[in-house]
A and B are shown apart, each in its own frame.
Chain A
């Protein structure tokens, strides 16, 4: 193997001023795109594609890698600042990052997160340098049963995040899985809780929409009702230096989570969806004092952030070695590499043989991009953290604007906005009645892998068993499966014991029976409908039927037990947790429905006159009526909002949701 000379050549390629310049340019563009929740690397890379044709390979790679590498770094801004999971890489960061911002520690959360990201990125690159030359057999060792077990391990993190009533956590995860099965089954094409008359539902709901709906909408609405700033008391506590110290104090946690990130990232087909949950679960289990999780524990930021940049490095393995993209942005990356230079570089099995120097250049460009990105982010974080001291009423309309636009980008349908609103409602009530939102999201994210791997592994296993008992057992119980099984069991047992201590929704008071009971009955009714719906799928399409039927029944059973408990227990029991009884929400000067109506109005107006015109009306009305601003301030803020929206969308070449007006008349962009 000629690894060492190739490594030297790779550094020779990278350390040229022009290459570093392109890398920095990519990083800056990546940061700009990453701040936009839900767009991430795919939008950025598509934007770069036209320029890749015939470009000098190492320059093109520097530009693209600069952009891809920093998206999981910069989307931390949205998760910490606004509780918006910018991409699947920052779902778990929200849990403790956002409470930290509320406590006035946004800058500390940022720098802890960025330091962890940087370290994770570097650990990932070092690990890959050694690992990539021997990785092929290891990747091939992960067959369907192994991937199913990794998915189950991810699901088992529900145990840690289930909240005070484990049954509620399980039911929430089950509901997440059931929402994830909506649409056409992957295997047999049967419809679950969908009809061809509503084509939108047949494709299923997108992660961006569910993530925004479950986390961002409830938080925005809640903060808006309270009419204060994100950081309570409008004062900023610990600064960025504290965050770096926090990271250094937890360096071993950061090491372990980085390694988790690389390893899970290496497995093709799973990608980033589970890695931050596994890292978060690991963080909780290895922390002695668990009482602060969900309330702003800095370790809860360090763990997932260390893993998610390391994962990007791990994700390069299936991409470079097999030509199988680990994520959407990696898929575009593969396509773009084929356009570079004279087209000689083929991402895939040949890459290690013929282009080992370029392979190493990619790995270390990724690490360098992390360094540049982190430095820029830390430099910016103090200023950006000040946003948390602004009266939230002035931020909220821009956030509604951003999440609506992000939701629309996922499918370019008007229905995307309706789905965001509907999932947002679910999120609001899950939050209010202390049902674990993380558990719901884990269920949703892992719904498709669970179903796919279960069906495929089952089909191949039964095929092997037909050949012989030992053949089948050998396939199902490989050493990797057994190890993962043990890890899963241990983590579930530990998790259930610890779950009571972790309140991802903070302290919630309990109150009267009626409201929590009604919500439980609504969930049970949906689950029952979904189970009946699944049972009507004909038997030949068993693959589309078995998961919704099984998961739905289990969740329904949980609901029934909860129902029995609710009937028997007295009012004020922990099972009747309700945020409207006492605390921030109950004391808020504005009601839920009045606040939500603003968002509904924006969506309704979009349906009539299209997004940009609706936004103009929405912003003006909001600032004048709700915020009570003068005309001058209103107009300046509105112009700034619209200008920013058009600038970003124009640069990224994106459209806005059209309305009835746009169907009737042909208008120029951005009114189009």
Chain B
């Protein structure tokens, strides 16, 4: 298989080189046979979004009519803003272009980053999937944790962070609401580096997304080197935060907050946290078709993704590769995108003020 597909592409390249390749006219009924679907990811080859797209691409290829080759392309730059700005300009709605965003694309949009020249409302979501997150402490401070943060307020915590305006906003704001003193060390390149810092004892608090926790940190917990503190939780049908199905034994931030003196699960801080949590986790990664894509093309993709998630082996293969979280398609995906990209102005204002006061970050 490998040899033949490689050769085929090489031959295609050669044919094109000789100038014999003719453009294939778009057809009325959606049939993608012989075409190549480009799935553009605005991050580098090395990140979680790459993993996510690479997992779905071959499955999608099997389910789309005509079994087109689905290739994942990477367009990193400016923390995904560059790729998203580019996608905003794309008009080819023939189903050969797909775009994948992540929380890092959503956050600058929500915070009004001046570089954002894209508008989520213009795009056509076809699939969305989420993840969760777990915060944990080192063994020493873990002993002081009793389901509330009351005994942790006097400890100085250090945390390896990728940046306050990224997904790290969610844990940093949560710890702040609990009254903990957490000093972020910025400039970490991925959560794996953060975990390594924690393992070396340089950091004494850390958080990982679900897959990162299961793969790396759960072992630390088993060895007694780390103590899980809380998950961000998961959303039920009514939009309430409930325990994360992947970690039913770990309390949610909501529970810890309720148990901690001075932490409120209502009011502007809570609303802001919840809004950014929803934008960053339950609908973290979304696949879009460009603005102006005809409805039949959208329907084709929704059907294909629906078929992917209904494969008999999907629960097994997906839980190992991207975590066992819900995959939304069609209208559910639309609804997920709506919640993920709609944050009340008051929440935005609260977060912006906090970012400025705590870290001097100004978005203008």
Q: Look across to chain B and name the residue whose beta carbon is closest to the beta carbon of A451.
A: B187
Question: Which residues of A have CB within 8 Å of B28?
Answer: none
The verdict on A199 contacting chain B, using a C-beta distance below 8 Å, is yes
The reply to whether A452 and B22 form a contact with Cβ atoms under 8 Å apart is no
In the complex, per-residue mask of A634-656: 1 if CB is within 8 Å of any chain B CB, else 0: 00000000110111111101000
Contacting pair B183 A50 (CB below 8 A): no
Given contacts A196-B115, A343-B321, A646 and B196 within 8 Å (CB-CB): no
Is the Cβ of B3 less than 8 Å from the Cβ of A25? yes
9 cross-chain CB contacts under 8 A: A49-B54, A196-B115, A322-B199, A342-B320, A456-B185, A460-B202, A543-B187, A650-B9, A668-B23
Among the stretches B10-18, B233-241, B248-256, B264-272, the one at the interface with A is B10-18
A647–B115 CB distance below 8 A: no
Question: A131 interface residue, CB < 8 Å from B?
Answer: no
A123 to B364 Cα, complex, angstroms: 53
Q: List, in ascending order, chain B residues with CB within 8 A of A412's CB.
A: 75
> Do B156 and A324 have beta carbons less than 8 Å apart?
no
A504 to B71, CA, bound (A): 44
Interface positions, chain A 1-53, Cβ under 8 Å from B, are 25, 29, 42, 45-51, 53
Q: Tell me whether A643 and B57 are in contact (CB under 8 A).
A: no
| Whole-angstrom CA separation of A466 from B18 in the bound complex | 69
Q: Given contacts A50-B5, A349-B216, list 4 more A-B pairs with CB under 8 A.
A: A50-B54, A143-B201, A203-B82, A463-B158
Of the candidate stretches B42-50, B123-131, B136-144, B277-285, the one touching chain A is B42-50
A353: nearest residue on chain B (CB-CB)? Answer: B219
**Chain A 273-295 residues near chain B, CB threshold 8 A:** none
B residues 148-168 in Cβ contact with A at 8 Å: 156, 158, 160, 163, 165
Name the A residues within 8 Å of B320 (CB-CB). 338, 342-344, 346
| A650 adjacent to B17 (CB under 8 Å) | yes
Across the interface, do A335 and B50 meet the contact criterion of CB distance under 8 Å?
yes
Q: Does B262 contact A (CB under 8 A)?
A: no
B9 CB contacts on chain A under 8 angstroms: 650-651, 653
Bound-state CA distance A455–B219 (Å) is 30
- The reply on A186 being an interface residue by CB < 8 A is yes
Q: 5 nearest interchain CB pairs?
A: A650-B13, A331-B46, A540-B360, A646-B17, A343-B320
Query: Are A331 and B71 touching (Cβ within 8 A)?
Result: no
Distance to closest chain A CB from B178 (angstroms): 20
Q: Tell me the complex Cα distance, A347–B192, Å.
A: 12
The prevalent SS among residues of A at the interface is helix
Q: Give the distance to chain A from B116, nearest Cβ to Cβ, in Å.
A: 11
The reply to whether the CB of B2 lies closer than 8 angstroms to some CB of chain A is yes
Residues of A within 8 A of B74 (CB): 46
Interface centre among A268, A336, A668 (most CB of B within 10 A): A668
Interface string of A130-158 (1 = CB under 8 A from B): 00000000001011100000000000000
Q: In chain B, residues 11-64, which have Cβ atoms closer than 8 Å to a Cβ of chain A?
A: 12-14, 16-18, 21-23, 44-47, 50-51, 54-55, 57-58
- Known A63-B2, A335-B50, A338-B320: A350·B219 in contact at CB below 8 Å: yes
In the complex, the chain A residue whose C-beta lies closest to that of B14 is A647
A160 CB, nearest partner CB in chain B, Å: 29
CA distance A144 to B47 in the complex (A): 23
A452 to B186, CA, bound (A): 9
Q: How far is the CB of A367 from chain B (nearest CB, A)?
A: 23
Inter-chain contact B51/A338, CB cutoff 8 Å: yes
Q: Is the CB of B16 within 8 A of A646?
A: yes
Please determine whether B115 and A188 come into contact, CB atoms closer than 8 angstroms.
no
Contact of A651 among B10, B92, B163, B321 (CB under 8 A): B10
Instruction: Tell me the nearest residue of chain A to B188, going by C-beta.
Output: A456
Measured between beta carbons, the chain B residues less than 8 angstroms from A413 are 77
Asked if A669 lies at the interface with its beta carbon under 8 angstroms from chain B, I say: yes
Judge whether A468 is part of the interface by a CB distance below 8 angstroms.
no
Q: For residues 175 through 208 of chain A, which have their beta carbon under 8 Å from a beta carbon of chain B?
A: 184, 186-189, 196, 199, 202-203
- Min Cβ gap B292→A in Å is 15
Size class of the A contact interface (CB-based, 8 Å): 35 or more
For B69, the chain A residues whose CB sits under 8 A away are 50
Residues of A within 8 A of B291 (CB): none
Q: How far is the CA of A348 from the CA of B213 in the complex (A)?
A: 11
Of B22, B187, B190, the residue contacting A668 (CB under 8 A) is B22
Q: Which of A46, A202, A323 contacts B45 (CB 8 A)?
A: A46
**Once bound together, how far apart are the Cα atoms of A217 and B216, in whole Å?**
44
Q: Are B45 and A199 in contact (CB under 8 A)?
A: no
Within 8 A of A (CB), among B216-249: 216, 219
Q: A332-B45, A348-B216 in contact; A643/B14 too (CB < 8 A)? A: yes
- Residue of B23, B160, B185, B317 ringed by the most chain A CB atoms within 10 A: B185
- Given A188-B186, A323-B216, A346-B215, also A650-B321 (CB < 8 A): no
The answer to whether A203 and B215 touch across the interface, beta carbons within 8 angstroms, is no
Proximity bits, A392-429, B CB within 8 Å = 1, else 0: 00000000000000000001110000000000000000
- Interface Cβ pair total, 8 Å cutoff: 179
In the bound complex, residues from chain B placing their C-beta under 8 Å from that of A187 are 186-187
The CA of A140 and the CA of B185, in the complex, are separated in Å by 18
- Give the complex CA separation of A348 and B76 in angstroms: 25
Using an 8 Å CB-CB cutoff, how does the interface string of B206-217 with A read, 1 for contact, 0 for none? Answer: 000000000110
| A140, A203, A647 pick with most chain B CB within 10 angstroms | A647
Q: Give the contacts of A319-363 with B (CB-CB under 8 A).
A: 322-325, 328, 331-332, 335-336, 338-339, 342-344, 346, 348-350
Is B72 on the interface with A (CB-CB < 8 A)?
yes
Which residues in B have their C-beta under 8 angstroms from that of A63? 2
A411-B13 in contact given A338-B51, A339-B321 (Cβ < 8 Å): no
- Given A324-B193, A343-B321, A349-B219, verify A143-B17 contact (CB < 8 Å): no
User: Whole-angstrom distance between the alpha carbons of A50 and B5 in the complex?
Assistant: 10
Judged by a CB distance under 8 angstroms, whether A382 is at the interface is: no
Contact partner of B55 among A202, A339, A452, A460, CB < 8 A?
Answer: A339
- The answer for the CA separation of A346 and B218 in the assembled complex, in Å, is 13
Q: How far is the CA of A420 from the CA of B2 in the complex (A)?
A: 35
- Are B22's CB and A199's CB within 8 A? no
CB distance from B218 to the nearest CB of A (A): 9
Interchain nearest-CB distance for B3 vs A (Å) = 7
CA distance A412 to B13 in the complex (A): 19
The smallest beta-carbon distance between A438 and chain B, in angstroms, is 26
Asked whether, in the complex, the Cβ of B14 is within 8 Å of the Cβ of A650, the reply is yes
Residues 241-286 of A contacting B (Cβ, < 8 Å): 268-269
Question: A328–B3 contact, CB under 8 A?
Answer: no
Residue on B nearest A462 in the bound complex, by CB: B183
Q: Is the CB of A143 within 8 A of B202?
A: yes
* Interface residue? A670 (CB, 8 A): yes
In contact, A339 and B54 (Cβ under 8 angstroms): yes
> Is the Cβ of A186 less than 8 Å from the Cβ of B186?
yes
- Within 8 Å by CB of A642, from B17, B22, B76, B202, lies B17
CB closest chain-B residue, reference A646 = B17
Query: Nearest Cβ distance between residue B97 and chain A, in whole angstroms?
Result: 12
Are B360 and A541 interface neighbours, CB within 8 A?
yes
Would B185 and A650 count as touching, CB distance under 8 A?
Answer: no
Report the bound CA distance from A268 to B50 in whole Å.
21
Shortest CB distance B102–A (Å): 15
Q: Which residues of A contact B5 (CB under 8 A)?
A: 50-51
A538 sits at the interface (CB 8 A): yes
Check B13 against A456 for contact (C-beta < 8 Å).
no
Is B349 among interface residues, defined by CB-CB distance under 8 A? no
Q: Within 8 Å of chain B (Cβ to Cβ): is A529?
A: no
CB of A235 within 8 A of chain B?
Answer: no
Please indicate the chain A residues that have their CB under 8 angstroms from the CB of B23 in the complex: 668
**Cβ-defined contact, B317 with A343, below 8 A:** yes
Residues of A within 8 A of B359 (CB): 188, 540
Whether the Cβ atoms of A188 and B360 lie closer than 8 Å is: yes
Please measure, in the bound complex, the distance between the C-alpha atom of A455 and the C-alpha atom of B22, giving whole angstroms: 55
Q: How does the 8 Å CB contact mask read for A519-547 relative to B, with 1 for contact and 0 for none?
A: 00000000000000000001011010000
Q: Is A459 an interface residue (CB 8 A)?
A: yes
Complex Cα spacing A452 to B156, Å: 22
Q: Residue on B with the closest CB to A59?
A: B2
Please tell me if the beta carbons of B46 and A325 are within 8 angstroms of each other in the complex.
Answer: yes
Q: Are A649 and B13 neighbours in the complex by a CB distance under 8 Å? A: yes
Give which listed residue, A51, A53, A328, A643, contacts B18 with CB less than 8 A: A643
